[in-house]
Structure 1
């Protein structure tokens, strides 16, 4: 096995670290984009149901409880956040 010269190793390590940093940033951006789209779709759905079916604030309370129960490891499904999502849409 051939050993790398110290400066070659250092250069290689720095290149690999930069690749990891770039990949992590891309993943974070993609995840944030998906969450924004999800929040908009949730808000849009709420807006449409309120317009079409006359949903009131009590429905949002129940939706918040049911979404938090189903997705207990996720944050962001409070009643207040559902109102924010509706406003966002």
Structure 2
């Protein structure tokens, strides 16, 4: 024999489940927002490094190869040469950071 009324207990389970679902969705959105901002910022750093005369245009490819290699060594996967190119292009496509979230949300 159960001490809890079945219908109110089921309601509790549903309420908890709904709250968990909502919290997980909000957490995923927050993480996604932060990752988008981070990748935009990485693209900005690369472009600013290039534009400050630190490298010549013909060395741009070499920069991305070296940067990819060093970032992967220190921080793990996610920093392939092609990903760095995409981050760079991402920044160049959305030069103002406040427009990034609005346009991608």
TM-score past 0.5 threshold: yes
Deviations 1:15-48 (A, max 9, x none): 0000001111111111111110110000001011
| Correspondence 1:60 to 2:61 | no
State the partner residue of 2:49.
49
Structure 1 residue runs of 4+, over 3 Å off? none
TM-score, normalised to structure 1's length? 0.90
Which runs of 5 or more residues in structure 2 are unaligned?
92-105
- 5 Å-filtered alignment, 1:1-89, equals 3-52=3-52, 53-54=54-55, 56-72=60-76, 75-89=77-91
**Alignment partner of 1:29: what SS?**
helix
Cα root mean square deviation, aligned: 1.4
Which runs of 5 or more residues in structure 1 are unaligned?
none
TM-score, normalised to structure 2's length? 0.77
Give the number of aligned pairs. Answer: 86
